[in-house]
Amino acid sequence: MGRLGQFMIDMWADLLASRELAWRLTVRDFSAMYRQSYAGYVWAFLPPLFASATFLLLRSGGVISVGDTGIPYPAFIFIGTLLWQVFVDALNNPARAMQTSMDMLVKVNFPREALVLSAVEMSLIGLAMRLVILVPVLAWYRFPLNASMALFPVGALGLVLLGTVMGLFLGTIGMLYQDVQRAIGIITTFWMFLTPVIAPGVRHGAIGVIMRLNPVTPILATTRDWLTGQPPEFLGGFFIVMGLTVVGLVAALMMYRLFLPRIVERLGM
């Protein structure tokens, strides 16, 4: 317990010490992401907009059938795809931070936790940018101001933390095996359809069981319900997943701190 306690203390100390470096890495990566893009920051808004438009066309053409969403379907799907993109960004950002800083990892001795903080900061900046288009949507559909809206940041932060925890595990492994990163894009596309992003949660059958066991379901659905003033259907699951996420974050940071130096040493040989 003494060694474990010292390990945790050192990890926390390095997290605190790496704040300034993390912010500099965030500024560097954020600028590089849009530097050579003609559309620039518009790319932050395009994925949820195009995804929403696609499924709206499919629904209007009778290709897909959606049950009662409780709110106007365009708002339902737009908020759902926006929150899903927040989660996917948080899932990918840890691996992206490691890959873009590979030269630093090999040549420079610095607190590796700075990359984790930078990944979280990138996710939070992406979330803040998307709020720019979320507010007009809420105003257009005349969602009334309600007390539950104050809980929206809690749910949004939950998506960021859940994605970061999964991204840390997968990103650390992906440093050795590129197949992991290639698989994430394929898996998240299929994963979205097992999450109540474009339609309410399925309650029956095998798909219903998978959707209820999906850790993203209670956080995303509850966050959308809070924002739109709907009674949260998955509130119990929200607290369970958030508790597991906090535990998982500590475990992911420990794994990252233990194995990343060995992985970097192996890749640098």
Q: What's the pLDDT at 52?
A: 74
Nearest to 218 by CA among 199, 195, 198: 195
Instruction: Tell me how far CA of residue 199 lies from CA of 1, 220, 222, in angstroms.
Output: 47, 12, 14
Classify residue 262 as exposed, middle or buried by CB count within 10 Å of its CB (0-12, 13-18, 19+).
exposed
Q: What's the pLDDT at 64?
A: 65
Low-confidence ranges of the chain (pLDDT < 50): 269
Q: What's the pLDDT at 62?
A: 63
Q: What's the pLDDT at 1?
A: 54
CB within 8 A of 7, min separation 6: which ones?
A: 254, 257
* Distance between CA atoms of residues 166 and 164, nearest Å: 5
CB 173 within 8 A of CB 160: no
Q: What's the pLDDT at 35?
A: 63
Widest pairwise Cα distance in the chain = 64
Q: What's the pLDDT at 90?
A: 94
Specify whether the backbone of 15 is left (phi greater than 0), alpha (psi in -120 to 50) or beta.
alpha
CB 197 within 8 A of CB 66: no
Task: Return the domain boundaries, the chain.
Answer: 2-268
Nearest to 200 by CA among 211, 213, 214, 215: 211
